[in-house]
Chains A and B, each alone.
Chain A
Amino acid sequence: MATVVHRELSAAAWRFYGPLAVLAAFVAAGFAAFLYMETNGHVVTGMDNQIVWGTPHVFAVFLIVAASGALNVASVASVFGRTAYKPLARFSALLALALLAGGLAILVADLGRPERLVVAMTHFNFKSIFALNIFLYNGFFLIVGVYLWFMMERRMNRYGDRAGLAAFLWRLVLTTGTGSIFGFLVAREAFDSALLGPAFVVYSLAYGTAVFLIAAALVLRWDAQALDAETTVRLGRLLAIFVALSLYVTAVFHLTKLYMTRYHGVEAFLLVDGGVYPLLFWFGQVLVGGVAPLVLIYSPRTGKTRAGVLAAAVLVVAGGLAQMYVTIIGAQAWPLAIFPGWQESSSFFDGEIHRYAPSVPEVVLGVGGVALAAALVAVGLKALRLIPDPCTASSSPPPTSPPARQR
């Protein structure tokens, strides 16, 4: 194929700074929420001593998981030799970096002592999967940064595929680590599963591809281009496979839990009688985030249109947020069994379902992190040559051409 020329975002000044100002306003609001929480303490949030990780963590973990998946397009091009995706590989790497930065910013802003970030970077307990994740996240920035550089620097181009392979392997470990943060919590019945590591890898493939589809469509439209139909449809097919895998791993997770009698209570809570959690699971994660996107992508009418695939991607993101809410908060809402076999009650809310409602500062902080990721993408696109120039992209057929399967 012909060499694709990349260039900076070409939107007119007002079309660039206008949206950027809107994003900056959301980031500023998130920063204000952070200051409010830190000044008053977490008492102003919906989190308490029962639900210790709340809405900020739902946003943060979603962004971190989506970050590694957003690298899919670059990986598919570099590692699996699908050259058709090569023009978008640079954007894929930038998006991965920005999503991770946004997610980590939320996590840091939610810390009780965020000013001690330097402590977290200098004191390590290597038995902690959390401490290992700090290395994995920093390593991801480094490796994907180098990968991006190799793709952009002509003299380093020949090492690009090797850097891509390193980034791909690293992201697999990283997402396994993120899932293991939860999987290693043996005392909590809704976690305590080695499956959560691989499950998060599978989820990341789906969420990252979905976020990439939406972001690429928005960015190219911003650049007065369109994400061409062939790439969209092909990525849609890939997304469908990841969504199906996500449903599979979710089913295995719950079926293995259901096989073990001691988990029947927590499974009934999450799947049947836990109020908002079964609703978010069945309607959000399974129907909106799983079944509906599959129907959209595999239906002959919608599956071959950009609108159909992009709608499926939006649904996958919505379902992903629902999944994170159920996985992170639902798991904490179920009480610990400190005296198994006994009914427990206490002034510390032992033995009862813990209630939680997201507070405004938490939501604003989470949305601020999303806006930060988007703003970083915008600035990156303006500063670096990451957007494929349609005039030279001979591999990309015009948007009107019928979708073709590539071997």
Chain B
Amino acid sequence: MSDPGRRAFLGTAAAALAGAAIAPGIRLVELAAARSPEEAASAKVRWGLLVDANRCASGCTACVTACRTENGLADTGRPRTDAQWIRIVDLRDPRTGREARAPVMCQHCAHPPCVDVCPTGASFKRADGIVLVDRHTCIGCRYCMMACPYKARSFVHENLADQKPDVPRGKGCVESCTLCVHRVDRGGTPACVEACAAAGHGAMLFGDLNDPESAIAKRLRELPARALRADLALDPGVRYAGV
């Protein structure tokens, strides 16, 4: 084979090989975009929440109750050590006396400090922005709890019973809101959002921040909303309006 001919042959062969190697990957990306629960999380999606404090009704704790039921968080009567994945924070402006309230949970940061500080990499962020704890590699050092600006994490302080099959937990590990990842991966919405809507308040909106046509993206264009501790530039997936 002449030299130019051999080069052309090698080029074609390389292109064909590369195509064969990449094709399944392209297929994977398509599937992930379709958010099939069997496929890995995709960076095309950025799951997020919009909390409208103006709609958060006084005295209502539907989101908190739903979270506890969904994730099997029992009330032991020891509030200082019990896990709280979501809580209502009551707010008062000391100058004007204005009052407000809003649920606070893991803010699913794009640059999560808990992930930065975790020595073993047990704290991790999925491609779709959900921040989780790998219960198999968490050593229970609690450095993530020291680092989280939102006090979003809880340490399991005692033995557990009656766990939910979808939400495995373990004494001695740190945990926090998973954005109901087990529901989201099946195409559902987080339990807190569902409960808030069922209670008729609709103060929480869940969706894909990356999709300009999603309800949450449209609402964020209309409503002045902000990130908590925006000064830290963590780009949280949870946004707040009205506070």
Contact = CB atoms under 8 A, between A and B. Distances in A.
A142 interface: no
B171 A346 contact: no
Interface string A80-124: 000000000000000000000000000000011110110110011
A141 interface: no
Contacts of A349: 79-80
B81 interface: yes
Interface stretch (B33-41, B132-140, B186-194): B132-140
Interface string B129-168: 0000000011111110111111101111111000000000
Contact of B172 (A113, A128, A185, A338): A113
Contact of A341 (B93, B157, B159, B174): B93
A124 B142 CA distance: 16
A128 B116 contact: yes
A128 B117 contact: yes
Contacts of A342: 91-94, 100, 243
A389 B226 CA distance: 71
Interface stretch (B3-11, B20-28, B82-90, B195-203): B82-90
Given A53-B146, A111-B172, A349-B80, A120 B87 contact: no
A127 interface: yes
Given A123-B120, A347-B87, A49 B139 contact: no
A273 interface: no
Contact of B89 (A127, A181, A350): A350
A258 interface: no
A119 B139 contact: yes
B80 A188 contact: no
A125 B84 CA distance: 27
Interface stretch (A39-47, A315-323, A366-374): A39-47
A114 B100 CA distance: 42
Given A344-B91, A348-B151, A112 B117 contact: no
A147 B170 CA distance: 43
A224 interface: no
Given A112-B171, A187-B113, A128 B91 contact: no
A134 B118 CA distance: 12
Contact of B146 (A43, A52, A123, A347): A52
A124 B120 contact: yes
B121 interface: yes
B228 A338 contact: yes
Given A52-B146, A347-B84, A113 B117 contact: no
Contact of B142 (A112, A339, A341): A112
A48 B157 contact: yes
A338 B88 contact: no
Interface residues of B, number: 57
Interface string A49-73: 1101100000000000000000000
A125 B112 CA distance: 13
Nearest to A127: B116
B116 A343 contact: no
Interface in B111-127: 113, 115-122
Q: Which of B81, B100, B141 has the most A CB atoms < 10 Å from its CB?
A: B141
B53 to A, nearest CB: 10
B229 interface: yes
Contacts of B170: 113
Contact of A339 (B155, B156, B174, B228): B228
Given A49-B155, A117-B139, A349-B80, A112 B149 contact: no
A38 B170 CA distance: 12
B139 A113 contact: yes
Q: Which of B84, B146, B172 has the most A CB atoms < 10 Å from its CB?
A: B146
Contacts of B100: 342
Interface residues of A, number: 50
Interface in A305-358: 332, 336-351
Interface string A154-190: 0000000000000000000000000001001111100
Nearest to B101: A346
A268 to B, nearest CB: 16
B63 interface: no
Contacts of A339: 89, 91, 228, 243
B232 A186 contact: yes
B88 A346 contact: yes
Given A128-B119, A187-B149, A112 B155 contact: yes
A125 B121 contact: yes
Contacts of B89: 338-339, 344-346, 348, 350-351
Nearest to B150: A338
A113 B133 CA distance: 14
B78 interface: yes
Nearest to A188: B146
Nearest to A118: B139
A185 B18 CA distance: 45
A342 B83 CA distance: 24
Nearest to A39: B159
A365 B122 CA distance: 26
A129 interface: yes
29 contacts: A38-B172, A41-B159, A42-B81, A42-B155, A42-B172, A43-B81, A49-B154, A49-B157, A52-B146, A53-B146, A111-B172, A112-B155, A112-B174, A113-B138, A113-B140, A120-B120, A123-B120, A124-B121, A125-B116, A125-B119, A128-B117, A134-B119, A332-B146, A336-B150, A338-B150, A342-B91, A343-B91, A346-B90, A347-B84
Given A112-B142, A186-B113, A347-B84, 17 more contacts: A41-B172, A42-B81, A49-B80, A117-B139, A125-B121, A128-B117, A128-B143, A130-B117, A185-B117, A185-B147, A186-B149, A187-B147, A339-B89, A339-B243, A342-B100, A342-B243, A346-B88
